[in-house]
């Protein structure tokens, strides 16, 4: 019995010793962690001025980029308005040039109308109209507008519109033999195609079969 009691006491003492050692270890670890945590906080505290400086620089750069973007956006809007204004002015200038080029033609037409009397000479009137037409063509040429060559030319669907096709033996197939309405172009750009007559080769006619009558057959038999 005494030995069992001693063994139990020894076991109890060992358990108490083990618990004491575990408590000491836990306390030591807790103290170490506290020291480590305190050290990290001190490091962060020491870096705050540096971080604040970096943040200030980042804000300054962001503000600079914002101002730069505002300037670029304003410049682009000004450029866009200027381009639109220049286009409008160019369009109006083009119309003005066209009107100025055609006004002399209108002036001559009005003069011709004013000069007509009941006993007007038709030849003189015709001459006046020819003069007006020539002046009008010169005005168009001043604007860069020229008539499209037609009669005697090879038909070109880009410049010509086939208004009529006429069978002709004496003209090569696909050539223009007449102009119905004159066409005009500006450079290579067609303003109005010329309406023309185009020559085509006649369609070959098949010979009609000869039909013999009864009288012809009797005469043939008699011979």
What span, in angstroms and rounded, lies between the C-alpha atoms of 135 and 142?
10
With cut-offs at 50, 70 and 90, classify the pLDDT of residue 38: low
What span, in angstroms and rounded, lies between the C-alpha atoms of 83 and 16?
95
CB-based burial label for 179 (10 Å; 0-12, 13-18, 19+): buried
Instruction: Return the pLDDT at 18.
Output: 62
Domains within the chain, CATH numbers bracketed:
145-203 (2.30.22.10)
What span, in angstroms and rounded, lies between the C-alpha atoms of 182 and 185?
10
Instruction: Return the pLDDT at 164.
Output: 94
Residue 167 near residue 201, CB atoms below 8 Å = yes
Cα of 12 vs its chain's centroid, Å? 97
- pLDDT at residue 132 greater than cutoff 90: no
Residue 183 near residue 192, CB atoms below 8 Å = yes
**Segment 55-113, tens digit of pLDDT:** 888 898 888 899 999 999 999 999 999 999 999 888 888 877 777 777 777 777 777 77
Instruction: Return the pLDDT at 77.
Output: 92
Instruction: Return the pLDDT at 197.
Output: 96
């Amino acid at each position: 019995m005494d030995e069992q009691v001693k063994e139990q006491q020894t076991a109890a003492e060992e358990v108490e010793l083990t618990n004491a050692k575990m408590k000491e270890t836990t306390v030591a670890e807790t103290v170490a962690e506290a020291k480590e945590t305190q050290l990290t906080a001190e490091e962060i505290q020491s870096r705050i001025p540096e971080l604040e400086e970096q943040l200030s620089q980042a804000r300054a750069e962001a503000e600079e980029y914002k101002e730069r973007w505002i300037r670029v956006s304003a410049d682009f809007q000004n450029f866009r308005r200027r381009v639109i204004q220049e286009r409008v002015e160019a369009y109006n200038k083009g119309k003005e040039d066209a009107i100025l080029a055609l006004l002399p033609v209108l002036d001559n037409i009005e003069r011709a109308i004013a000069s007509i009397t009941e006993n007007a000479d038709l030849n003189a009137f015709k001459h006046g109209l020819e003069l007006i037409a020539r002046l009008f063509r010169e005005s168009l040429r001043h604007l860069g507008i020229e008539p499209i060559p037609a009669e005697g030319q090879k038909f070109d669907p880009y410049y010509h519109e086939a208004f009529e096709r006429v069978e002709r033996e004496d003209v090569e197939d696909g050539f223009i033999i007449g102009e119905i309405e004159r066409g005009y172009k500006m450079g290579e750009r067609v303003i109005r195609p010329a309406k023309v007559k185009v020559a085509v080769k006649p369609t070959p006619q098949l010979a009609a079969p000869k039909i013999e009558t009864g009288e012809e057959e009797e005469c043939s038999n008699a011979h």
